[in-house]
Structure 1
C-alpha cells in the first residue's frame, strides 16, 4: 500500500468520523427534546482533539518518516480497521437514537442490552481502541499508535467512569 493509498484510507476514516458527528448531532437534539441530560462534558474537547490528532499523526508520521508498507503487519491491521468500523456501526445501529459521541442519558429509557452490548459493556470503546492502534500500524506509524493508545487509555478511564455514573444515576 503506497503512502497515497494510505492517505485515502485515513481520509475515509475521517469522512466516517464526520458522518458520526452528523448522527450524534441529530441524536443529541432528539435526546434533549426528551429530557436527556448530558454529563462528562469536561473531557469531550480533549477527546475531539485526540481523535483529530490521531488522523493527522497517521498522515504526518507516514509521509515524514518515509517508511515502507510492510504487508505482514499492514494487511492484518487493515482488517482490524475494517472490523472496528463494523463494530462501531453495529453499536450505532443497536443504540439507535440513544447513540452519541457525547454522554447523554434520556430518563426512563431502558438500558440497551442487545447487539454487541449483550456480549460486553462499552463495545464502541473496543472499536475505538482497536482502530486507534490499527489505523496507524497499517503503514507502520508506530509512534502515533503508541502515543494515541496511551492517551486514549487515560481518556477512556475518565469517560467510562462518567458514562457508568450517568447510566447508574438515570436508573435511580
Structure 2
C-alpha cells in the first residue's frame, strides 16, 4: 500500500504545481483585463479534488482494499494518460490556462492541440483521473462518489466557462467592433 500512498502524493504534488502555474497565469490574465467568473463553485471544486486524494488513501487503508493487477494496472495507464492530456491542455493554452474561470476579453478561442477536437479536453482528463486514481487500488466507493459529485460540479463549471468564453468573444458596442456582423 505504501506505493499507492506515494502515487496519490505524486498526484497531490502535481496539483500543487498546477496551482503555481494557475497563480502565475492569473496575474498574466488580470494584467490584460480579465476577470474571474464562477467564484461560487471554485471552493467546492477544491474541496472535491482534495476529497478525492484523501478518499483514495482512506478507503484503501480503512476498507483494506486489495491491489488487483487486472484492474490496477489498466487504471494506472489511464491515470498516466490523463496527466498527459492535462499537461497538453496546459501547454496548449499557455498563460490562458487556469484552475479558475478566467478569460481575457478579445482573445480568440484556442483551436490547437486537444482543443482541435473538443471544447473542454481538460475535463476529460479530470473525469478519467477521478475514476482511475481510486481504482488503481480498488477504492471503488471513492471512484463512484467523486464521479457523481464531479458530474454535478462539471455541469455548473462548463456552463460558467462557456458563458464566460461567449461573453469574451462577443462584440462590444462602443469598442469599434462591428456588432452587426
TM-score by length of 2: 0.93
The superposition leaves residues 145-165 of structure 1 with CA deviations (integer Å, 9 ceiling, x where unpaired) of: 000000000000000000000
Which structure would you say has the larger Rg?
A: 2
Equivalent residue for 2:51, pick from 21, 46, 53 = 53
Aligned to 1:137: 135
Corresponding position of 1:42: 40
Return the offset for 1:38: 1.0
CA distance in 1, matches of 2:35, 2:159: 16
For structure 1, the residue ranges without an aligned partner over 5 or more in a row are: none
Structure 2 partner of 1:151: 149
- The answer for unaligned runs of 5 or more in structure 2 is 171-181
**1:67: Cα distance to partner?**
1.8
CA RMSD of aligned residues (A): 0.5
TM-score, length-scaled by structure 1: 0.98
Deviation at 1:115, TM superposition (A): 0.1
Distance in 2 of aligned mates of 1:161 and 1:146: 23
2: distance between equivalents of 1:68 and 1:41?
A: 39
More helix, by proportion: 1
Give, in angstroms, the shift of residue 80 of structure 1.
0.4
2: CA distance, partners of 1:67 / 1:100: 34
CA displacement, residues 60-112 of structure 1 (integer Å, 9 cap, x when unaligned): 00011112100000000000000000000000000000000000010111110
Contact kept, 8 Å, 2:107 with 2:169, in 1: the verdict is: no
Q: Distance in 2 between matches of 1:45 and 1:66?
A: 31
Shift in Å, 1:121 = 1.3
Counterpart in 1 of 2:4? 6
What is the 5 A alignment of 1:20-169? 20-169=18-167
